[in-house]
Amino acid sequence: MINFELYRIFKIVAEEGNLTKASEILHISQPAVTKHIKNLENELNTLLFERSKYGMILNENGKKLYLQIKDSVDILSKAEEIFHTHKSINLGIHVNMPSKIYNPAISKFYELYTDSILNIHQLTAENMFSMLEKQKIDLAFSKKYSEELYNPKEIKFIKIGELHDVFIVNANSQYAHKKISKEDLRNTTIYTLKQFSSAYQNLVKQLEYSENDTINIENVNYTAMLELLKVRDVITVITKEYVEEKLECQELRILDVGFSLPNAEFGVYYHVNNNFKELKDLTEILKKNCKV
């Protein structure tokens, strides 16, 4: 059986003469392009390119094959564009991400793609990256996380905007109307998200812990932090946009510490092998329509 995808990749590499440029056009990794070319050469039992520091140059067999298939690949590619569309997209959204940030983008997508379906999955960071790697979801919308959680060769991040991590206390806290120094903060247990989160990593840097210091930070999930703020007088670091309603009704307060934590990036994660028009369009719509 003829594998059309191998010939499509061969044609693009032949025309570009460069694996990096071909991988950018194909939206797959350079090693994946190399592997596909090797598979085609194995199927045909012949070499098709001369590899050199100047790029990929067609040999005589490659030139003959290119002349034979180039028109057919163009015709089939156009037919595929007409008939092969993705009606369903699996979108993973981090469980803590407020819907008001992404809802305008979702609404805009449905305006443009009335026949498409967005299957939205609320996921923790660990589950989100696991499902992306297994390609059980097509796209993930989330804050940026440490690359310790995923394989950066397979999963890429596109920045859309920034969120703001702040020190939060209960409105009745003893700390609510005080200015707290960095030294005070180091001597107080602070509750924030897990160690792979930007909130935790930025907090450690800003409080200038040395290698020999005991880091006085407790890692809990978002729900647990909200419960702690209800029942105990604690200091937390939370993304401001996650608790804006509680801040507006003065249930919670932003603590005055005399400095700001770095902003936290948010955006979309995607698998390098995912490549279809609606997915690219959804990414662009999220870029233009997310509200912070």
- Identify the structural domains of the chain with CATH numbers, from first to last: 4-83 (1.10.10.10), 88-161+265-289 (3.40.190.10), 165-262 (3.40.190.10)
Angle between the N-to-C axes of helices 60-83 and 4-16, in degrees from 0 to 180, rounded to the nearest 10: 120
Strand partners, 117: 88
Q: How confident is the model at residue 158 (pLDDT cuts 50, 70, 90)?
A: very high
Looking at residue 197, what is its pLDDT?
86
CA distances from 6 to 9, 77, 163, 260 (A): 5, 13, 42, 52
- Please report which confidence band the pLDDT of residue 82 belongs to, taking 50, 70 and 90 as the band edges: low
Confidence of residue 85 (pLDDT cuts 50, 70, 90): low
Q: Look at residue 245 in the predicted model and tell me its pLDDT.
A: 92
- In the block, which residue shows the tokens 């920045």? 159
Q: Rounded mean pLDDT of 29-48?
A: 90
What's the rounded mean pLDDT across residues 255-263? 93
**β-bridge partners, 167:** 237
* Crossing angle of helices 4-16 and 19-26, rounded to 10°: 130
Which residues have C-beta within 8 Å of that of residue 136, sequence separation ≥ 6? 90
Per-residue pLDDT, 75: 81
Residue 81 binned pLDDT confidence (cut-offs 50, 70, 90): low
Instruction: Calculate the average pLDDT of the chain.
Output: 89
Has residue 228 got a pLDDT over 80? yes
Greater confidence, 111 or 27? 111
